[in-house]
Structure 1
Amino acid sequence: MFPGKLQIPRRQTMTEIQRLLTETIESLNTREKRDNKPRFSISFIRKHPGLFIGMYVAFFATLAVMLQSETLSGSVWLLVVLFILLNGFFFFDVYPRYRYEDIDVLDFRVCYNGEWYNTRFVPAALVEAILNSPRVADVHKEQLQKMIVRKGELSFYDIFTLARAESTS
């Protein structure tokens, strides 16, 4: 401390609602193993067995035509390699990580993640934590209760708008 200097307290960078929402998103990422890492999975075969069989039927039909053709028979190895490589993508699932910063951002990540914040509902525990938190203003708690009455279930975007309102007040 320097004598004569006025100490101005730093403004808190994260509001209480934002902190609770971020914690909920992180626990959801952990619980659902959302870490952006590819994992081997046969879920594609389970979800789309007809498409999977159709791919192999089309592959063998193309292979038969190529083997019968004099001009294409030399590049059969290329077809097999491409088929194996492209088919390999169907055996991996990537669960994208949800992030608070991605909410209400329209960029390339929306193509990858989708608008998860509009389609996923927040757990009731988050709503209870906000309503029971002494660090959340009564105005925002009332606004949250009105949203619950009006919509029933709330999405992550709904809580995000509440956090944005809290940060501006």
Structure 2
Amino acid sequence: MAGEPTEPYTPTFDTGEFETPHAPVAVVDTDRPEPVPVPAHPVAVPGNYQYLKRWTFVLVVAAVWALAAVAGWGLYHWWYHSLDKTAPVFVVLVFVICTTVGGLLAAMAPRPLISALAIALTSAPLAAVGGAAVLHGLYFCEWASRCFAGLIPY
């Protein structure tokens, strides 16, 4: 066989046999122990809630969903009546990306009201689909023979 034979490796520890080169060690005074830092606890400021009331949450979500439903209605109307569907589909993609990214960015804020806005923005495409579904039902019921409340074909 060519080369040197292999041997199992056994590490050598600093037992005083060899002088190991290392950086100088700083001498620590062990007579006085350093104080251990105490983590700061969040302080509740009077007048600022650490939570959000239910009616405020519902109001924020309802307002954003109403705007998103109108946007979905308009986008579906534009898509339905356009001959080239490329631009409306691209705007729908931009709408979904903007609401998702906006919701994720708002979720990083430590305030409860902005957290409710983040939840509303993230779920805004659902409300837009609801608005588009209402308009789709209206368009479809123009040709359907039976519709419940002029909106839902059966």
Same fold? TM cut 0.5:
no
Q: TM-score range by the shorter chain?
A: under 0.3
TM-score, structure 2 as length reference? 0.26
TM-score normalised over the length of structure 1: 0.25
